[in-house]
């Protein structure tokens, strides 16, 4: 049965590990540092919400970009496809060409990677993630990123800090905050996997500004137990030639000609 695929753009060696069922994730803190070195992914509030209702003061100085986030969140990002990414063949409507929009391609080109892994059955992939997380007694959420304006981000802050009780706040942080980005990045069409995982050796009573760099760079690999239903292509194939989905044989083909 056809599903709109998920695509992971990365270097070939890392995609091979993912294909074999090794899901490598980084702590949400890591993405807060990308803003200074990776313009394509630069979002000062990536996976967080701005502290607009209350001032964040550290050592007597108010932060210009104060934010709240979930320190236990480990993230893996993908590009999600939908109907708009498939073009019906002009010669035979049996075929569909996977062709991302120019805006999405432009966002992807900034990632500086060489390969793409097309996950053909997202539902099965998500099931593998949840099963592996349950086995490790951890929580997993898999969903599309929500792109919000600054005013909408403020409403999110209000819903977490004003409308919800303290006991529910931790759950709200894990369920919502890691999946937030600013509206200007919506062309990335990002789908995220988020695992709630304790960082070994981290004292959660220590203010975030005093965390050691090794904690910000913490990684986690979730063993899915079996290979992922996916295939790899050079990133050029996605950005230029594209791939074709054969509706009769329920399979993807590398495009050559005649579409």
Model's pTM, two decimal places? 0.79
How far is the CA of 13 from the CAs of 25, 112, 118, 125, in angstroms? 15, 14, 15, 19
Smallest CA-to-CA distance from 32 within 211, 235, 165, 196 is with 211
Which helix H or strand E contains 48, and what residues bound it? Answer: strand 48-50
CA 109 to chain centre: 16
Smallest CA-to-CA distance from 193 within 148, 126, 132 is with: 126
Could you state, in order of their start, the residue ranges of all structural domains in the chain? 6-254
SS3 category, 103: helix
* DSSP for residue 171: H
Cα distance between residue 33 and residue 167, in whole Å: 30
DSSP-derived letter for residue 224 is -
Give the pairing type, strands 48-50 and 67-69. antiparallel
How far apart are alpha carbons 228 and 118 in whole angstroms?
10
What string of pLDDT tens digits covers the 259 residues of the chain? 789 999 999 999 999 999 999 999 998 877 665 544 444 445 555 555 555 545 544 445 454 555 556 678 899 999 999 999 998 876 778 889 998 888 888 878 777 788 999 999 999 999 999 999 999 999 999 999 988 887 887 777 677 666 555 555 555 555 667 787 888 888 889 999 999 888 776 665 555 555 666 667 788 999 999 999 999 999 888 888 789 999 899 888 886 544 4
Query: What is the rounded CA–CA span in Å between residue 186 and residue 174?
Result: 21
Identify which of 253, 259, 12 has the alpha carbon closest to the alpha carbon of residue 115: 12
What's the pLDDT score for residue 58?
42
Q: Which pLDDT value is given to residue 111?
A: 75
Q: How far apart are CA 20 and CA 227, in angstroms?
A: 4
């Amino acid at each position: 049965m056809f599903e709109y695929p998920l695509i992971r753009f990365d270097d070939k060696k890392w995609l091979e590990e993912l294909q074999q069922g090794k899901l490598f994730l980084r702590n949400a803190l890591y993405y807060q540092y990308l803003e200074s070195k990776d313009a394509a992914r630069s979002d000062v509030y990536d996976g967080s919400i701005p502290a607009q209702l209350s001032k964040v003061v550290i050592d007597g100085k108010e932060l210009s970009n104060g934010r709240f986030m979930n320190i236990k969140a480990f993230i893996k990002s993908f590009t999600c496809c939908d109907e708009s990414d498939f073009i019906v063949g002009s010669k035979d409507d049996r075929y569909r060409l996977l062709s991302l929009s120019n805006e999405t391609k432009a966002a992807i080109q900034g990632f500086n990677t060489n390969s793409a892994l097309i996950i053909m059955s997202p539902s099965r992939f998500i099931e593998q993630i949840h099963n592996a997380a349950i086995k490790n007694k951890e929580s997993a959420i898999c969903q599309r990123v929500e792109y919000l304006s600054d005013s909408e981000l403020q409403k999110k802050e209000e819903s977490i800090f004003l409308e919800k009780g303290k006991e529910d706040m931790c759950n709200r942080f894990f369920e919502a905050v890691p999946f937030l980005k600013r509206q200007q990045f919506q062309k990335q069409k990002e789908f995220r996997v988020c695992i709630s995982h304790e960082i070994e050796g981290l004292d959660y009573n220590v203010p975030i500004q005093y965390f050691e760099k090794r904690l910000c760079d913490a990684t986690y690999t979730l063993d899915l137990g079996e290979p992922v239903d996916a295939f790899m292509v050079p990133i050029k194939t996605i950005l230029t030639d594209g791939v074709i989905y054969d509706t009769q044989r329920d399979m993807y083909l590398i495009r050559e000609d005649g579409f």
